[in-house]
């Protein structure tokens, strides 16, 4: 093994790579060679570092200097100043939003101070294509521990005791799922990783897979051992090209060194993983719809019961877990249930990865203990609202989540508290909006999304989402009436109470919450009155066609 | 058997474990409304019309898919339940054409009935409706996607009962439509036109092609000599369409009513059913004696014929070459009858009353005009005929019973039972036994081939020859039999296959509703018709004997071959008709 | 042969939804389809990987290819079409060489996707859902593709462009012209 005196970590997550980090990597390699430093300094292409808004980011170790918005032109400076002379390049260092002062190293940044990195601990630090780096950071230790020192039932018990709940949105206790599947007698059983991340505003699973794919593979193997399955599937969105590439490499490497495949670590345990792609259907994030799709059909949800642990993929007992849920598993096995329970809140232990987007200074990927308040996330981590505007609302949990206003910012973020507040923690998307936005316009965007994504199987969702859109669209054109407002409420209530699957049942949440908190804005749009934010008239008449074009 | 006890509307109900709330409620005398539900066939929980409140559940539950649980407290009639059901229905209606007055299913539409019983007086939701072209590409079935409520009952029948799989849900969400591949017309699909989808469609989205106007026009044309034939199964089903109880035998009223419509002669397809037994019986004997292709399979059911042409073209040689009774009738009407009555065959106009939508397709087949004229001019389904009776203002039930005209009105009980699954087989066995042994058959009722079991098998001793027979109804069961033939497992001599569940009495052109219970009643009625006949064996039909003597000469003779036998075509799958 | 019953002997057509610019798909194309089928045939749940392969290879899924798939997997073509028409990444019509997918989900909407759409439509002189006459570009909506960190964003084939402003649109397009 070769030692390097310094490491240059270039974020290669999709968000940063858009801004051409490959050319940054090339520039570094060129400059290092020029200075004869290529043996001393190693350039690593890492997964997402989290600070997407400030990308492309480059971190130089051992100092941990965090350079933001780096361009290929800046590389020569970093090499000449920092790596050769040991002086940080002040002008590129991360600047705390509210402060004039620059932050020298990333642990100092407030953005990172409130974060606790369990799931993301390797993201941005290791080369995701290198299984060696993953192993060097303790990877596959937990699989080894489980296979060689624990009975399957013990593994299930540790996961149960940890109190881990599904991070895909529903918050179902993971240990319970595993126990049901372990108890099922029929073979074969399957482990499915749900990477069909479709909730608008959510990109955590993509970045986890881009940055630390082995964590998910290790977890799936552990799950397979615990429940008695030897075959795993990762159902991932077809659009996630980089994640797919990283997973493919990871699976190949893990097979090569015997961490996937037959007789893993000589224990006689067989487990292998296949990647399957989605083809553009949000509803396939629903577990039974995902099974339908994976089996080669229309992604239409099934009736439950039977539940997946009883009859899942191809009618066989199946554990299906979200990417983030799985990424927690190796740490839980390694450090134990007690350690995990020490994080987060009693009802929802652990951390949660959120994706921050919209009108926020530091958009990106963060990981915080469960129970943190939205206010802390927006202002302490996210750096607040840019451009001197006022916070108007945040939508939590993606488009199927509810909207919260200023007065709810201090609700602790865990599954139960959020549900009590009339919204959802959901997948971890946080969409922040300032006061320049029109609520009717936003609601129309939500409504259109569900018209497009409803699978069409059950009546309330198929017809109801369309009628909700029709009514909200009417408001945006000044045609809304008081009666329409009543109908909208009736439809929202009906959708909340009656559809077949969670897509339909959560579709009305954004409508219900905007009606609850911003009714006056809907009323202002009635009967030809104005759009207070001045957004709606400007949109013109082109928008109904959009639904048609879809 | 394990049971669970639950409370439905404060009534305690004990049911078998696995029973749904819907069934449990029905046992308790509470009728929860449904729309997409078809027992054992289409259990999707998609229309949400059967929603109920289950204590402790966050959402309302669909009763048709939710299993009854121990200690469950179910409310089927509460303000939230009523409102949810009503809203779901209103949402369906908001995407449905308001054409009840002119709809073919008016007054016999499940959606209309639900709207009526829910007291919906106005649909509050407005907006875009699905716009789809009318599919009248097929000669048998019209598909009107705008009236479709996407319950998928048709898909279930087509796939699970008939294994044809001609239609499926296409597109997604609000744009979803039930259609053949590529949203083409039914004519381009592998549809066999059996019409079972039209029986289960709750609305007017799938229905028979309406040909009534052609018949009215022919009846009004003084140059035309319009003769009508009635299929065996129609005499036990037309009554239902005219408001009588299922299983009513209305042979006499049917004849009377047809005369009142103005048909010049009222004949009976039963006559050519008897003739079919002669031709098919001799064909079977011939095949057995000469080492011909066995097992031989019946060819009366046009849906079945189109099915084997699409799906098992390599087995076509197994089919009897006999035309169906409908087509034999037409061929004879325009030759033997025209000659005998002294009418120019060009002026003879043959109308068939059939329980079947595929018969329309059969009448249009290229092979069905060997006399130089189309054997059959127009086919009306039982449903269409009932509409004509209503239009003519007939008090059907009150009509005096009348007799069919000679010569094609003289028939036997063996022909009547053609309408039920197993009937052709039984009729054939009655004749084969007597023809081959020369002895009189004492026990006429072959119970082993009767009934609603999917595939029935029997070995019948015919003068020392053990004749192995099988009877299958529905194309799903036909498929199983075909697979056995293909694998060489089937050592039968003779197989009867009927396309529709229960045979023709359950045909796709029969009155709606046609369900399992009603099918059983019609079957019972048709065996009653048989048992009351004086002649119960086809070869004893004097008119048939006369026909052979005066015209055909002998079974399988030259004329028979020309007029009464046919050939089949290999149909490519998934291509044009 | 004598004339058949004219009443029932007619071949009306309902215009099928799938219209290819080629009435029949040429054999070399079908050969590529066949090799994709062969590649996945033994896979459990082979339909999706096969369709994805064809979409990737041809840029769309012609009717003739769906027939091939149906035959190979012993399933009726309406089932194949049923699946194809369900997923937005499958196309039954030929598309432009570059498919521009615009996200209009809430995060991109909030960041001004509507203005990007307007600019794209203006620059390409087509509406959303259409293809340019020279078949270079298709404009389509997509659901959130998880690049909200750089909203508003578009995808041009597999390439992502984020943090867009209307002013940047022509620059992005010029990359492909």
Mean pLDDT (10-residue bins), chain A, 550 residues = 82 75 88 90 87 84 88 91 90 72 67 87 92 95 97 98 94 97 97 95 93 97 98 95 95 97 96 97 96 97 96 98 97 97 95 93 91 94 92 92 92 91 88 93 94 96 97 92 96 96 94 95 83 71 38
B283 is catalytic: yes
- Residue A545 with chain C: CB contacts under 8 Å: 127-128
Q: Which chains touch A (3 or more CB pairs under 8 A)?
A: B, C
H-helix or E-strand containing A443? helix A439-453
B87 close contact with A: CB closer than 8 A? yes
Cis amide linkage into residue A305, ω under 30° from 0: yes
| Shortest Cα–Cα distance, B202 to chain A (Å) | 15
Contact A497 B60 (CB under 8 A): yes
DSSP string, A267-281: TTEEEEEEEEE--S-
- Would you say B318 and B393 are in contact if contact means Cβ atoms under 8 Å apart? no
**Closest to B505 in 3D by CA, of B242, B233, B239, B195:** B233
pLDDT class for C6, splitting at 50, 70, 90? low
C13 close contact with B: CB closer than 8 A? yes
The more confidently predicted of residues C103 and A273 is: A273
Closest Cβ–Cβ partner in B182, B190, B577 for C11: B577
- Would the pLDDT of C20 be above 70? no
H-helix or E-strand containing C137? strand C137-142
- Would you say B172 and B159 are in contact if contact means Cβ atoms under 8 Å apart? no
C70 close contact with A: CB closer than 8 A? no
Closest Cβ–Cβ partner in A203, A279, A550 for C48: A279
| 3-state DSSP of A50-110 | CCHHHCCCEEEECCCEEECCCCHHHHHHHHHHHHHHCCCCHHHECECCCCCCECCEHHHCH
Contact A467 B60 (CB under 8 A): no
- Would the pLDDT of C22 be above 50? no
**Closest to A232 in 3D by CA, of A307, A334, A313, A159:** A313
Alpha-carbon span B108 to B259, nearest angstrom: 27
| Shortest Cα–Cα distance, B197 to chain A (Å) | 19
Task: Please tell me which residue in B301, B320, B352, B560 is annotated as part of the active site.
Answer: B320
B176 close contact with A: CB closer than 8 A? yes
| Shortest Cα–Cα distance, A270 to chain B (Å) | 36
Closest Cβ–Cβ partner in B179, B181, B363 for C8: B363
B320 is catalytic: yes
A281 close contact with C: CB closer than 8 A? yes
Tokens of A291: 């099974």
pLDDT in the model for residue A51: 80
Task: Report chain B's mean pLDDT, rounded to a whole number.
Answer: 96
pLDDT in the model for residue A104: 63
Interface pTM (ipTM) of the complex?
0.94
Tokens of B261: 């419509």
pLDDT in the model for residue C16: 56
* Angle of CA points A502, A507, A511, to nearest 5°: 150
| Shortest Cα–Cα distance, A455 to chain B (Å) | 5
The more confidently predicted of residues B478 and A387 is: B478
Instruction: Give mean pLDDT, residues B18-24.
Output: 96
B131 close contact with C: CB closer than 8 A? no
pTM of the model: 0.94
A53 close contact with C: CB closer than 8 A? yes
- Residue B372 with chain C: CB contacts under 8 Å: 2
* Angle of CA points A190, A196, A200, to nearest 5°: 155
By C-alpha distance, the chain C residue nearest B576 is C11
Instruction: Give mean pLDDT, residues B325-348.
Output: 97
C23 close contact with B: CB closer than 8 A? no
- Would the pLDDT of C13 be above 70? no
B65 close contact with A: CB closer than 8 A? yes
pLDDT class for B348, splitting at 50, 70, 90? very high
Do β-strands A429-434 and A351-358 pair in parallel, antiparallel, or remain unpaired? parallel
> What is chain B's Cα-based Rg?
25
Closest Cβ–Cβ partner in A298, A303, A498 for B169: A298
pLDDT in the model for residue A529: 73
By C-alpha distance, the chain A residue nearest C79 is A297
B367 is catalytic: yes
Contact B174 A463 (CB under 8 A): yes
- Would you say C84 and C92 are in contact if contact means Cβ atoms under 8 Å apart? yes
- Residues linked to residue A120 through DSSP beta bridges, in sequence order: none
B553 is catalytic: no
Alpha-carbon span A1 to A255, nearest angstrom: 22
A539 close contact with C: CB closer than 8 A? yes
Instruction: Give mean pLDDT, residues B348-359.
Output: 98
Report the largest interatomic distance among the alpha carbons of chain C, rounded to a whole angstrom.
Answer: 72
Query: Tell me: the pLDDT tens digits for A10-41?
Result: 988 877 777 667 889 899 999 999 998 888 99
CB atoms within 10 A of CB A340: 23
B280 is catalytic: yes
pLDDT in the model for residue A103: 64
Which of A171, A488, A491, A497 is the best mutation test for B, with the most CBs of B within 10 A?
Answer: A497
Lowest mean pLDDT among A103-117, A397-411, B17-31, B111-125: A103-117
Contact A18 C143 (CB under 8 A): no
The more confidently predicted of residues B217 and A47 is: B217
> Which B residues in the span 140-169 are in contact with C, Cβ-Cβ below 8 Å?
165-169
Which of A280, A476, A543, A548 is the best mutation test for C, with the most CBs of C within 10 A?
Answer: A280
DSSP string, B91-135: HHHHTS---GGG-TTTTS-HHHHHHHHTT---------------B
- Would you say A356 and A413 are in contact if contact means Cβ atoms under 8 Å apart? no
B99 is catalytic: no
């Amino acid at each position: 093994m070769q030692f390097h005196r310094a490491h240059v970590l270039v974020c290669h997550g999709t968000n940063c790579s858009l801004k051409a980090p490959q050319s940054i990597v090339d520039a570094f390699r060129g400059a290092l060679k020029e200075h004869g430093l290529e043996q001393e300094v190693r350039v690593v292409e890492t997964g997402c570092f989290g600070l997407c808004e400030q990308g492309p980011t480059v971190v130089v170790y051992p100092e941990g200097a965090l350079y933001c918005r780096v361009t290929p032109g800046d590389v020569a400076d970093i090499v000449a100043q920092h790596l050769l002379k040991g002086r940080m390049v002040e002008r590129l260092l991360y600047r705390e939003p509210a402060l004039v002062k620059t932050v020298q190293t990333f642990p100092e940044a407030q953005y990172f101070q409130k974060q606790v990195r369990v799931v993301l601990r390797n993201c941005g630090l290791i080369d995701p294509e290198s299984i060696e780096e993953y192993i060097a950071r303790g990877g596959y230790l937990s699989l080894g521990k489980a296979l060689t020192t624990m009975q399957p039932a013990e593994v299930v018990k540790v996961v149960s005791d940890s109190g881990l709940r599904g991070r895909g949105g529903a918050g179902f206790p993971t240990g319970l799922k595993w126990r049901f599947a372990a108890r099922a007698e029929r073979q074969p059983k399957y482990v499915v990783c749900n990477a069909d991340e479709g909730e608008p505003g959510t990109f955590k699973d993509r970045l986890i897979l881009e940055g630390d794919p082995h964590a998910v593979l290790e977890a799936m193997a552990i799950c397979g051992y615990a429940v008695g399955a030897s075959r795993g599937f990762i159902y991932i969105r077809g659009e996630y090209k980089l994640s797919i590439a990283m997973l493919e490499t990871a699976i190949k490497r893990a097979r090569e060194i015997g961490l996937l495949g037959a007789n893993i670590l000589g224990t006689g345990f067989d487990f292998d993983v296949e990647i399957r792609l989605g083809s553009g259907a949000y509803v396939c994030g629903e577990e039974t719809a995902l099974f339908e799709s994976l089996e080669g059909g229309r992604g239409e949800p099934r009736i439950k019961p039977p539940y997946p642990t009883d009859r899942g993929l191809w009618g066989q007992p199946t554990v299906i877990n979200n990417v983030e849920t799985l990424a927690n598993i190796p740490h839980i096995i390694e450090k134990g249930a007690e350690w995990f329970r020490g994080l987060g809140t009693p009802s929802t232990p652990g951390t949660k990865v959120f994706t921050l987007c919209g009108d926020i200074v530091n958009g990106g990927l963060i990981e915080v203990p469960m129970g943190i308040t939205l206010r802390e996330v927006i202002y302490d981590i996210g750096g607040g609202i840019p451009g001197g505007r006022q916070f108007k609302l945040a939508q939590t949990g993606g488009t199927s989540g509810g909207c919260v206003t200023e007065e709810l910012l201090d609700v602790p973020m865990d599954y139960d508290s959020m549900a009590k507040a009339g919204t959802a923690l959901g997948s971890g998307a946080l969409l922040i909006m300032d006061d320049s936005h029109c609520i009717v316009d936003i609601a129309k965007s939500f409504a259109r999304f569900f018209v497009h994504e409803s699978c069409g199987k059950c009546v309330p969702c198929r017809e109801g989402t369309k009628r909700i859109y029709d009514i909200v669209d009417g408001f945006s054109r000044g045609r809304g009436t008081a009666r329409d407002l009543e109908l909208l409420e009736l439809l929202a209530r009906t959708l909340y109470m009656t559809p077949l699957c969670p897509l339909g049942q959560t579709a009305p949440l954004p409508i219900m919450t905007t009606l609850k908190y911003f009714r006056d804005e809907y009323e202002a749009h009635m009967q030809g009155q104005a759009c207070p934010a001045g957004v709606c008239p400007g949109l013109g008449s082109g928008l109904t066609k959009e639904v048609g074009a879809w | 058997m394990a049971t669970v006890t639950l409370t439905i509307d404060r009534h305690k109900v004990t049911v078998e474990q696995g029973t749904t709330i819907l069934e449990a409620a029905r046992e308790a005398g509470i009728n929860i409304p449904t729309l997409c539900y078809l027992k054992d066939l289409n259990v999707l929980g998609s229309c949400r019309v059967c929603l109920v409140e289950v204590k402790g559940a966050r959402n309302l539950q669909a009763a048709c898919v939710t299993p009854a649980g121990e200690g469950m407290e179910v409310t089927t009639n509460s303000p939230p339940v009523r409102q949810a059901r009503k809203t779901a229905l209103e949402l369906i209606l908001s995407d449905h054409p308001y054409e009840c007055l002119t709809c073919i299913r008016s007054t016999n539409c499940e959606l209309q009935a639900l709207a009526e019983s829910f007291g919906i007086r106005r649909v509050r939701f407005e907006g875009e409706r699905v716009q789809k072209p009318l599919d009248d590409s097929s000669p048998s079935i019209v598909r009107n996607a705008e009236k479709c409520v996407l319950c998928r009952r048709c898909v279930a029948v087509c796939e699970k009962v008939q294994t044809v799989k001609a239609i499926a849900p296409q597109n997604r969400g609000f744009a979803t439509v039930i259609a053949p591949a590529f949203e083409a017309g039914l004519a381009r699909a592998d549809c066999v036109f059996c019409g079972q989808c039209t029986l289960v469609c709750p609305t007017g989205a799938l229905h028979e092609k309406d040909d009534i106007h052609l018949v009215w026009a022919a009846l009004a044309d003084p140059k035309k000599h319009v003769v009508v034939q009635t299929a065996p199964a129609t005499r036990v089903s037309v009554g239902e369409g005219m408001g009588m109880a299922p299983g009513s035998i209305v042979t006499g009223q049917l004849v009377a009513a047809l005369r009142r419509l103005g048909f010049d002669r009222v004949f009976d397809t039963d006559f050519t059913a008897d003739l079919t037994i002669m031709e098919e019986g001799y064909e079977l004997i011939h095949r057995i004696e000469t080492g011909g292709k066995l097992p031989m399979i019946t060819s009366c059911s046009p849906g079945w014929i189109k099915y084997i042409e699409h799906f098992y073209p390599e087995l076509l040689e197994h089919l009897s070459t006999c035309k169906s009774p409908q087509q034999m009738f037409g061929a004879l009407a325009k030759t033997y009858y025209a000659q005998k009555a002294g009418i120019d065959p060009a002026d003879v106009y043959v109308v068939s009353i059939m329980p079947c939508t595929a018969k329309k397709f059969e009448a249009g087949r290229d092979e069905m005009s060997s006399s130089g004229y189309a054997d059959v001019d127009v086919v009306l389904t039982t449903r269409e005929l009932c509409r004509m009776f209503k239009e003519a203002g007939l008090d059907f039930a009150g009509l005096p019973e009348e007799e069919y005209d000679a010569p094609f009105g003289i028939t036997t009980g063996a022909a009547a039972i053609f309408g039920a699954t197993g009937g052709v087989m039984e009729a054939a066995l009655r004749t084969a036994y007597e023809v081959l042994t020369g002895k009189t058959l004492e026990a006429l009722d072959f119970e082993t081939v009767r009934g609603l079991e999917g595939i029935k098998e029997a070995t019948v001793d015919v003068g020392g020859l053990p004749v192995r027979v099988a009877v299958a109804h529905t194309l799903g069961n036909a498929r199983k039999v075909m697979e056995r033939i293909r694998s060489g497992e089937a050592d039968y001599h003779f197989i009867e296959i009927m396309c529709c569940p229960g045979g023709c009495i359950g045909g796709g052109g029969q009155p709606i509703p046609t369900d399992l219970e009603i099918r059983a009643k019609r079957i019972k009625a048709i065996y009653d018709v048989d048992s009351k006949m004086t002649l119960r064996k086809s070869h004893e039909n004097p008119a048939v004997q006369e026909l052979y003597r005066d015209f055909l000469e002998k079974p399988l003779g030259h004329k028979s071959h020309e007029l009464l036998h046919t050939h089949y075509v290999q149909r490519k799958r998934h291509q044009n008709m | 042969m004598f004339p058949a019953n004219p009443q029932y002997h007619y071949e009306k057509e309902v215009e099928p939804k799938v219209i290819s610019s080629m009435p029949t798909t040429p054999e070399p194309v079908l050969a590529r389809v066949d090799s994709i089928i062969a590649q996945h045939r033994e896979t459990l749940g082979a339909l999706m990987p096969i369709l994805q392969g064809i979409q990737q290879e041809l840029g769309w899924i012609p009717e003739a290819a769906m027939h091939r798939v149906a035959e190979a997997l012993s399933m009726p073509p309406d089932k194949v079409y049923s699946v194809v028409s369900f997923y937005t990444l499958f196309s039954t019509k030929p598309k432009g060489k570059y498919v521009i997918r615009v996200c209009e989900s809430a995060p991109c909407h909030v960041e001004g996707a509507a203005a990007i759409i307007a600019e794209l439509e203006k620059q390409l002189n087509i509406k959303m859902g259409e293809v340019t006459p020279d078949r270079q570009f298709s404009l389509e909506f997509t659901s959130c593709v998880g690049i909200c960190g750089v909203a508003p964003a578009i995808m041009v084939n597999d390439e992502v462009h984020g943090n867009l402003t209307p002013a940047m649109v022509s620059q992005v397009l010029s990359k492909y012209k």
